[in-house]
Structure formats: structure tokens, C-alpha cells
Amino acid sequence: MRLEGRNLGWRYPGGPLLFNGFSITLQPGETVGLIGPSGSGKTSLGRILAGYMKPIVGEVSALGRNKRESNYDPVQMIFQHPEHAVNPRWRMARTITEGWIPDAALLAALGIHEEWLQRYPNELSGGELQRCCIARALGPETKFLIADEMTTMLDAITQAQIWHTVQGIVRARQIGLLVISHDHALINKICNRTLKLNE
Amino acid sequence: MPLLEVSKLSISFIQYAKGSLQQKITIVEELDLAINEGEIVAVVGASGSGKSLLAHAIMGILPKNVSMTGSISYGGELLDEAKLKLYRGKEIALVPQSVSYLDPLMRVGEQLRTQADGAEQLKEREGLFARFQLGKHVERLFPFQLSGGMARKVLVSTAALQRSRLIIADEPTPGMHPADVAEALDSFKQLAEGGCAVLFITHDIEAAIRIADKVAVFYAGTAVELAPASDFQGNGERLRHPYSRALWRALPQNGFEPIAGTQPARRSDLQGCLFAERCRSAEEQCGNSRPEPREMRGGIVRCVNAT
């Protein structure tokens, strides 16, 4: 039961290959860091693993992923820019419950205030919005989590709080975690091992 | 005389709570801040503490449902609508926080050129592109084709211009590779050495202390501390405010230990110090009134217990 990408390659139409022959295996319960220069394809790799796009070369297998990809996907991704990952015309209550219904304990652990739920995304700060996106992605069927610069826009205390919460859940539920970040101090602190893309 | 002086700035939102019932939420409260020519002042602090609102207030681009009190002056004059029209985009430049400030339907190259640009600015931008290793082809791309880090570099390139006297950089570096962060910081540093004042809003404290002269720490809409950048060291024992110390110690390289709780939701019914409920050294008096700013060891702090 693992998430595996074999010999992956990706490029934007007409552009050069950002990466090629890249293989990655994520075991349940392990935390792996992914670093690399900006534009090297870290986010694209995350999107490929999460099933948002098909690789140009290679293949991805994730146990529990439905062939038609019509159900809740076992690989969930949290994006760098939460404002682009939510529907601007939905109140947060609808966004948070899009895939499952998080309980009050999880919302509290992530520091989500109840009054945020009645607001629209543009009435929350980036950090507040990101906590909501994390709650949305932590459904019971989540087996792997791809955190793409998840706390990059947050202050250090909030960052440490969120990572402590996420690490607790990930450990308890044996979720495999891929941490994409430029913050080497953060990667060194939380990851079991680190992969480099194009470095 | 400081080039930019913000005094007693308060910003409130009027929000519809239920039906026609309105609710006033104060996000920035009694904020004072000053920047001299050639100086870099970093603003760090809690997410949602009003850092970006400060930038938007200076630039005059706050949303319509906002009321603002206090004053912002630039070069000794009150920075009003008319003055802003004159300076904005020329002497005063903004590096916006979000990638969504780029026009999604316009190629990057076109967005970088404004009517105020001459040949000199164009050359400068090309130089910046080269320094950021963006490559000529990036100018032909649309914003959706940029990676997060590339988009940041483009945003920095829009403002880092020699003609600027005041640059408001709102989170210019997150998601950038360390080498590019260094490059961006260098370009701000160079501008400051040429006399430009830089307001550097960031939560990257490491970056802040690398280039800033002073660091203002924001919490719940006000500056709880203004400290020389060199005070951020060791275990944070030179810092004055308990929040600043907690922030410093929560960095992954400094222990990664968060304090509990969240920043209070801003309503007008909070009486005392805004940090009191999360503060270990809070006393009874902390719940009664807001601490006034006072000078201490070459900095300013809003805490009655500060040492």
C-alpha cells in the first residue's frame, strides 16, 4: 500500500522537459521532503502524483485510487496558494465539507474559528484560508498527503502549530506525507528523507 | 524627518452579519510606524495581523467597505488621494503579495511595462530578469504558466526600480528558492543603499533580519514591538515582547515549539492587551487596558511587563 511514481516526465506544451525519469515511492506513515529550484516542476510533480494531471512519460500508481477516479481520492494535495484552490463564490462551510464533514475537534486543532465558516474566501487571510484547505483534505480516506509549500504564507507560530497537528494526524493514521518546500530548515525538521528535483 | 510616517492608523471593516445587521470588525488598531530614507523596516508577525492592510492603506487601495482613521504622511505631507495619484507606481511602488495581482489574460512582458516607463526602466527590468534567471521566454508567458517562485520574481521585478523612493514589498519571497530569495533581498538592499525606503512585509524572519535595520512585530493589528534586527538572535532573550519571543522560538531552526491559541478575532469588545490570553506572564492588569507603546533599549514595546 504505497504511492509510487515511475520514471515520470513532464513538460508544458512547447516547453522543455522539466524533469524526466524521476521515480518516487512514498510509504504509509513516512514524511518525505521534496526540494528543487523554482520552476523545476515540484508542483507539477505533486499534481501528477495527486492525479490532477497525467504524466507525459511514466506512470503513477496509488493503492485505493478508483480506476475512473470518481470517488474521494486517497492522495490529497494542499496547494501553495489557497485562494486559487477554493471556489470564491462559496462560503467556507461549503468548501470545507466538499469531500467529507470534518468534526469540531479537527477544526479546533487547526485553529479554525466557527465564524469563518459563514465567510467568503476573500474575507479570510491566506493563513486562515489554508487551514480550511487542510481540514478539507484530511478526510478519513486520505492515505497520502502532498503539502505544496503548505505553510509558506504563515507566521512561524501558526506554521509550527499546523505542522504539529498535521504530524499528529499523519502519525496516528499512518498517512504518507510529501512536503514540497524551499524552507530547508523546515524540511530538515520534519522529514525522514529528502528528494531533490533537478539539482 | 521620516519619509513615511504612519500614526494612529486604525482600519475597520463593515460586514453584514445577518440580514441588514452590520458588524464592525477592527483589523488594524492604533498603529504607528516610521521609515527613513535609505532604511529597511521589516514587518513580521501573525498571519492575518493586518500586515497587508497596512500596505494597502499606504497605497490607497483598501476595499470600499473599509473605514480608516489616523494619518499616513509621505515626505512630511499628508498622503491623500491626490498625492497618491501623483506618486503611486512611480515614486511609491508596491510588490503585491498574491500572484492573483497579475492580469491573467496578459503576457508577463506586457504587464511589466507601464506608461511611466522609459528605455532606462526597460533595461533595468531586463537586468533583473537576468539576475533572477527568468530568461527571455518568460516575458511571453501568461501568469498561469508561471510556477509560484517564478511569479514572485516577476512581481518583484515590477517594483524594484531605481526611480522608486518608497517600496512596499508585501511578502515578496515565499516559495522562492533560497538563491533567488538572496537575489531579491540583494536588490532591495541595493535600492536602500541608494536612498530608497523599503517597507518589507514578510513572515520570513530570517530574511527580515538579513536585510532590515529594524523589525516591527505585528500581532492582532498593532505593532507590539519595534526592535533592531540584531536583537533577533539566540533564544530571543534580547527581544522585548513575549509574542516576539514566541515567534522567534517557533522557527524550525529555533525549536519549532508553538505557543497555544490563536490571534483573537477582532471585535470592539476586547478591553485589555490583545496578547494577554496567550501570554504566560499575563497579570490581572493586562486584561484591563491596552498597553501604550513605550521606548525600551533602542526599541519600542507595547507590554507592561517588558524588560
- Domain-wise residue ranges, chain A: 27-51+68-196
The H or E element that residue B166 is part of is strand B166-170
Residue B246: pLDDT band (50, 70, 90) is: very high
Q: Angle between the B178-193 and B148-159 helix axes, to the nearest 10 degrees?
A: 10
| pLDDT at position A145 | 97
Q: Which of A36, A153, A183 sits opposite B171 (nearest CB)?
A: A153
| Residue B306 domain-assigned (yes or no) | no
Q: Provide the domain limits for residue B89.
A: 4-301
Percent of chain B with pLDDT over 70: 97
CB contact under 8 A, B256 and A163: yes
| Residue B71 domain-assigned (yes or no) | yes
- Could you read off the pLDDT tens digit of each residue along chain A, which spans 199 residues? 699 999 999 998 888 899 999 999 999 999 999 999 878 899 999 999 999 999 999 999 997 787 776 788 999 999 988 989 999 999 999 999 999 999 999 999 888 989 899 999 988 877 789 999 999 999 999 999 999 999 987 889 989 999 999 999 999 999 999 999 989 999 999 999 999 997 5
As a whole number, mean pLDDT of residues B209-217 equals 95
| pLDDT at position B25 | 82
Q: Residue B267 pLDDT > 70, yes or no?
A: no
Contacts of A83 in chain B (CB under 8 A): 98, 100
| pLDDT at position B266 | 65
Which ipTM score applies to this complex?
A: 0.85
The predicted model scores a pTM of 0.85
| Residue B247 domain-assigned (yes or no) | yes
| Residue B204 domain-assigned (yes or no) | yes
Termini Cα distance of chain B? 29
In whole angstroms, what is the distance from residue A153 CA to residue B201 CA?
11
Our count of domains for chain B comes to 1
Q: Are B198 and B40 in contact (CB under 8 A)?
A: yes
Q: Pick the residue from chain B with its C-alpha nearest to A187.
A: B252
Residues 6+ apart with CB under 8 A from A55: A5, A8, A9, A10, A48
The per-residue pLDDT of chain B, averaged, comes to: 88
CA angle A165, A141, A69 (to 5 degrees): 130
Q: Are B111 and B148 in contact (CB under 8 A)?
A: no
CB contact under 8 A, A158 and B258: yes
CATH number of the domain encompassing residue B15: 3.40.50.300
Decide: helix, strand or coil at residue A145.
strand
Q: Which of A111, A153, A164 sits opposite B174 (nearest CB)?
A: A153
| Residue B307 domain-assigned (yes or no) | no
Q: Residue B194 pLDDT > 80, yes or no?
A: yes
Contacts of B45 in chain A (CB under 8 A): 155
Decide: helix, strand or coil at residue B193.
helix
Q: Residue B160 pLDDT > 70, yes or no?
A: no
Decide: helix, strand or coil at residue A2.
coil
CATH homologous superfamily, domain A27-51+68-196: P-loop containing nucleotide triphosphate hydrolases (3.40.50.300)
Q: Residue B268 pLDDT > 70, yes or no?
A: no
